[in-house]
Structures are given as structure tokens and as C-alpha cells.
Chains A and B, each alone.
Chain A
């Protein structure tokens, strides 16, 4: 133990200058991140990104990280016959452990601490901090030993930099080859996604790095170098071609039918509406799903819609609307979402939720005829919680505990949109909130609805977003924390029944922020056995 501490103390002394730079960069990043947080609160509407300062700090961070980590093994290079330690009573294993200890104390812990400070400053809860720190440590467990291995194999900093560039090029080449292979050979298979693939790659990388380090310290530099060259594709293969998923499975959601919120007697295809959009002439076929007894604060919404149209003469057309959050907002039944929140007094169609079947399938040349239409609709029952409500005026702000919302811009000049800037616990940049990463988190999302109650609770726009965007820790190489900015846009055309493009009309309009949680999910198929498409209006034809 004393030998380890002696070597560690010597290295701290030898590398005091780069260590000081490294710690200074981390400190600067923390200060910068936290001060930018405040600044963005004051200057809402400015660029979300960190800008030049963050970029420079990122470069400094990477440079200091490489120099400090690579230099640690190079103070006692394991494969240099002229190294001072060679004939000293220090075993190779002791030396390796001393270098790992150095990396832990000087690189990993301060780095992690900086991340924790930044995330805590951004309102992360303890469980989220724990998740973020785990993710950060996992990434560092691969990166830091890999840099140590490069340092051990090269012996000198300039050679290490050249080797690092070569390794990056090698990774890029192998990654490109594997990506191409995946697209052609493994098309259609669910490979290399999410947390399982990331962690598989991390573990393979860690194993390869451990063997490389061990070989280097056992004075087998050729074997170690060969392992680097051969091991890199193994790591990337684990990332790209990992076939298994693991971890906690997503919670099984009940079918809305079981919850008895769908009225089968009022479910089906109902209307054929002539499209009014010009110049493309279209018909819209609307399906309806009848609801009954939807609990207060809940509503049904579509996931995706597969539409199918079979003409009497045998021709057949299909289309899928991938109704993500944005798409689902575009269906005409969405006003019910607002009704469920109790923010409007009355709605034009309170009982039915309507799904738009793909308009793309009905083009102008099919002006007349008979077809059998059907649509399979993925239906979600969601629970909504009203978080904030504010007038649709630029400059309006709300504070929700540590969260701040500001409506920075209402514009009709180009594409009509409302820009919302928010900071606080919901931006959560470092936690992986993708579906495969953290069970359950994807079921919760956030939505903004812009509506106009004086115009019968008219919904004029909506924006949905889930709660995580970046999977890069804030003080890591990626260095990307964005203050979330939502843009609620409303399209012109027939999909929004009464949305005005006049700013004056917006007086009286409001914006609400809603937390949306999926509580049930299932599929319903609606059919219209004999769909008669009348001739298009002359103006359209």
C-alpha cells in the first residue's frame, strides 16, 4: 500500500501543472454552466446552446483530460528500458494499480463531482443524480482506462496524441463499415439500441482495455497493440450488433377496452369530408372512437394509424401515420385533451374523439368511386396534470418551484408559432430518458396546448416533448446542455378548424403546460365497408 501511495504522491508532484489546468477547466465549466443557467433565465429567447465559450471549454476539457490521463503511465512507462522504475522495487501490478488510483483520484472523481454540482444546480433530484452519475461513471470506466492504455503503450505524449488520432480514425472506419453492414445484412432486426447495447459495448471495451493494460504492464507491448487494433471492432460490434435487451421491462399497460372507456357502439368510420386545402385535392375519411366514462383528467389519443383502402376494382392502398406526439396533436379530436383539464368551459364535440385517416391515400384523380376503408388505430389513454396556465402573450412567465417557464415569442410572420423557454427539473439533460434506458420514464411526457376559449375552446396548437434530450453528461466531452425550448406551432389549413393567423385574434388565447402519463394502451380497428367518394367540387377539379 505504501508503494502505491508513494508512486501516487510522486505522480501528483510530477504532474502538478497539468493537474492544476485540468481542475481549473472543470471549475470553469461548472461556473460557466451554472452562470449560463442564470443568464438564460434573464435573457430568454437567446440561443440555447452554450456557444463559443462552451466550445472552447470543451476543447480545453478534452485536451486536459488527454494530457493528464495519458501522462500518468508515462511518468513510469512500463515498456521503456530506460525508465527509472524498472530496477526499483515496484512490481508491474503495483504500478498499474497506482496509475489507476491516480486516474480515479485526479480524473474520475473531480469530473464526477463537477457533473454532480452542475446537475444539482439544475434541479436534479437525488435519484436522477444517481442515474446520471452512474451513466457518467460507466462512460469514464471505458474512456479513462483506454487513455491510460494509450499512455502506457506510447511512452511519450506526442506519440500518444498520434496514436489517439490513429485510433479515432480506426474507430471511424470500423464504425462506418459496421453501420453499412448493419443496414444491408441486419436490416429489419432490432439491433444495437438503447441501454443494453451501450452497456454491452462499455463492458466489452472495459474488458479489452483491461487486457491491453495488463499486457502493457506485463511488457507485452506488441500483444497489447494488437489487442487495441483487434479489440476496437469487437467493442463497436457490441454497440452496433448487440441483439439482446435486458433490464426492467416496460410496465405492461392495460388495454383501454378493459378499462371500459371505449364505447364499441359508437366506434367506426363515419364521415367523408372534402378537403379544402389547395392546390392538392384530397378527401379526408374520419374514423371515430366513442368514449365513455373517461376519468377526469384523462383522455384518449392515437398512437399511430394504419389506414387501408380497397377499391371495388381490386386496387389497394395503405398508409401509416406515425402519430407521435406532434402528429397526434394534429388530429381534430385533440380539443378533448383540453376539456379533460377543465381549462375550457365547453367544446364543440365533447363526446367523440376523431382520428384522421391518412389523407395521402385519396388523391384528386380518385374523385368518384366505392371503396372499403379501414384503419387500425393505436389508442392510448393518458392522464394529464395541469402544470401551468398563462396568457398567450410574449413575455409571460411562470415559476413552478424550481422550474421556470417563459413565453418568449409569438410570431405569425413566417410559420405561426409560439416559442416557450423553460429551465428547471424537466430539462434533465444527462439522464437517459429514452424508452430502453429507464423503464417508465417514457410514459411521462410534457405538452403545451395553445387554445382560445372565447372561440369555444378552440385548440390552436400543441407541442409534445419527452423529458430528456441529451445523453451526454454536462461536463463531459459532449458538453451539451440545452435549455429546453418548445415551439407550439399551428398549421394553416383544414386541420385546424378555426385557427386564425391574425395576432389580434390571439387576445384571449392561453397556453397550458401539461404533464402527460400513459395509463393504458391498445389497438382498435374501425371500418367503413362501403365508402362512396363523391365527385370533387369543380373548383378543386
Chain B
């Protein structure tokens, strides 16, 4: 599987702040990869560096096999970039903006642009500055989709959108992504939405890649588990297995997130660590729940490291 985007020890520093450190990942063709992470994790910096909006301080990013610093109009015609912070030429009308972009992209498809505009109900004859933030974001999306880019970089595309618009955008991207076979690298806070879109999840924490995994695999190895102990007097061992995250106890009940779930192995491990106890619930988790568990875990690690 060839990689459309590959980063190798990518780093970006702003003064003394290491916004991105040693990021190595691949975005295979046709896949949707989501960058998740708390604020300041380095998601936007990673996308900007890949798109050559920023130059890397160290390492490199290859886009279509070309170093991001040397991206020419030829490669940029195959790339779509949408960011919540991107400034549109708001004095133009949507139709004028499309006409401008049509000249820049030989693959611009008027019919497709029309289809997208209709799907998002864009008022193309009104100046962009008169439009709401959500409509502008949808316009920006159409501006980056209508020439059928091979690679789509979406930086917080759902941020600030009301739920209805968000739903429209996600449905649109989902439907089109499947139809067009786009390669997408997106960053988002909206883990629920990402779960519907992403084939692969990368979690960034303090500029470093904390996790990179297929979404299905990530979800399938995480379970919320509830165990009933023998009695309330039964002590919880001081050292629980490292794969048990977020362990909490209430009376006889111990709840935790198993991050390496395998039915046989997990049941055996529970029996070994908590003899006589009984697994009463094994529930699949949403990506959001997994993300929260991992985020808390990372924080615990950091606190431990600091201590």
C-alpha cells in the first residue's frame, strides 16, 4: 500500500516551544487518518507542516513522494486543504471564488462543484463576508473538493459548526470519500465524528505521536469491563496489569478499561489477578471513550514521569 503522506521524524519548533516532535507516520492511499489530541497537541502544526504552510525544524514530510518544502503547483493541484482558520477572500462571491479556482485547477469539475453546492445549499451569489461561519466553512470545503484532490487535509473542519451543519458536512465527506476514494488526513476534537470517518487514528500528545492504529483494531482491543469481587473486604492489588486503564472501585465492583482485550486472555488475567471474582460486563467502547481513557492514561504517565 503506497503512502500518499509520509513523515519522518518531523519536528517544528516555535521559539523555545517544541510544537511537534519526532512525528513519523504514514497515510496510505485511500485511507482516512485522523489526528486526535488535546489542545496544543500539535495537530494543526503537523497538518500545516505537511502542507508546507510551515517549514519543519527537523525531519521531513513527503507528500506524493515530494519533500513538503519543495511542493510545487503541480503537487498542490492534487492537494486539498481546509482549515477552520483559513481566511477566504471574503469580498468575493462564492461563484467568483469558484471561477478563480477553476483557473488554478485543470481538474476542476463544474458539475461536481454544482452538486456539492446544492448538497450544502451554498448561496453562491452572495459575498462570503455576508455568510455565516458554517456556510463559509462549507464553501471552503467545496473549494477544496471540486477539483477531486487525491489528498485532502482537513484541519478541524467541524469546529464551530452547529450540529446540523456538522452532520451535513460529515455525511457529505463520508459519502464523497467512499465514492471518490480520497485520501484524507484530518485533525479534530470531535472524536465521535472522527469515529465515523477515520480508518486510522493517530493520537498526538504534547507534540509527540502517542498512538497510531487502525480504528477498528483500536476499538476492538478496548473494552469497558466490570468485575464483581468476592467481598467488599477483598483488597484490590496495588499493581494491576498495565493494560487495565482507569481502574475504579465502588464497593465490590471494580471497573476498568482493558486496552488489550482478548476474551480468553482477559478472563484469565482477571481470574489470576482477582481470584474468585466474576466478570459481569464486557462492553465495547466508543472512540471517544477510548480516547478519554488514553488521554487520562497519558496524563498519568506524565505525572508519574514528573514525579
Residues of A within 8 A of B (CB): 2-3, 6, 9-10, 13-14, 75, 80-84, 86-91, 94, 219
Contacts and interface: CB of A to CB of B under 8 A. Distances in A.
Contact of A14 (B73, B92, B104): B92
Contact of A90 (B48, B52, B86, B104): B104
Given A9-B100, A10-B100, A82-B83, A89 B77 contact: yes
A89 B76 contact: yes
B100 A75 contact: no
Nearest to B74: A89
Closest 8 CB pairs of A and B: A89-B73, A87-B81, A89-B76, A6-B103, A89-B77, A82-B85, A86-B53, A14-B91
A10 B92 contact: yes
Given A75-B89, A83-B87, A6 B100 contact: yes
Contacts of B48: 81
Contacts of B73: 3, 89-91, 94
Nearest to A89: B73
A422 to B, nearest CB: 49
A87 B51 contact: yes
6 contacts: A10-B96, A83-B87, A84-B89, A87-B51, A88-B101, A90-B76
Q: Which of A13, A80, A84, A87 has the most CB of B within 10 A?
A: A87
B88 interface: yes
Interface string B57-95: 000000000000000111011011101011111011000
How many chain B residues sit at the interface, stated as a range, is 20 to 34
Given A6-B104, A87-B76, A82 B96 contact: no
Nearest to B54: A81
A268 B48 CA distance: 88
User: Which residue among B54, B101, B104 has the maximum number of chain A CB atoms within 10 Å of its CB?
Assistant: B104
A14 B100 CA distance: 12
Contacts of B76: 87-90
B104 A13 contact: no
B105 interface: yes
A3 B104 contact: yes
Contacts of A89: 73-74, 76-77, 104-105
Interface string B191-206: 0000000000000000
B92 A13 contact: yes
B55 interface: yes
A3 B72 contact: no
A489 B48 CA distance: 75
Most B Cβ at <10 Å: residue of A2, A10, A80: A10
B206 to A, nearest CB: 21
Contacts of A91: 72-73
Contacts of A86: 51-53, 81
A10 B79 contact: no
Contacts of B105: 89
B91 to A, nearest CB: 5
Most interface-central of A80, A88, A90 (chain B CB within 10 A) = A88
B89 A88 contact: no
Contacts of B89: 10, 14, 75, 84
B14 to A, nearest CB: 11
A81 B86 CA distance: 8
A87 B80 CA distance: 8
A127 B103 CA distance: 44
A6 B106 CA distance: 13
Contacts of A80: 87
Contacts of B53: 81, 86-87
Contacts of B103: 2-3, 6
B74 A82 contact: no
A6 B105 CA distance: 11
A3 B89 CA distance: 16
A13 B96 contact: yes
A81 B53 CA distance: 6
Given A10-B100, A82-B85, A90-B104, 11 more contacts: A10-B89, A14-B91, A81-B85, A83-B86, A84-B87, A84-B89, A86-B81, A87-B51, A88-B101, A88-B104, A89-B105
Contacts of B77: 89
A236 to B, nearest CB: 33
A81 B73 CA distance: 17
A82 B87 contact: yes
Contacts of B80: 87
A151 B112 CA distance: 36
Nearest to A9: B100
B100 to A, nearest CB: 5
Tell which of A3, A81, A89 has the most Cβ of chain B within 10 Å: A89
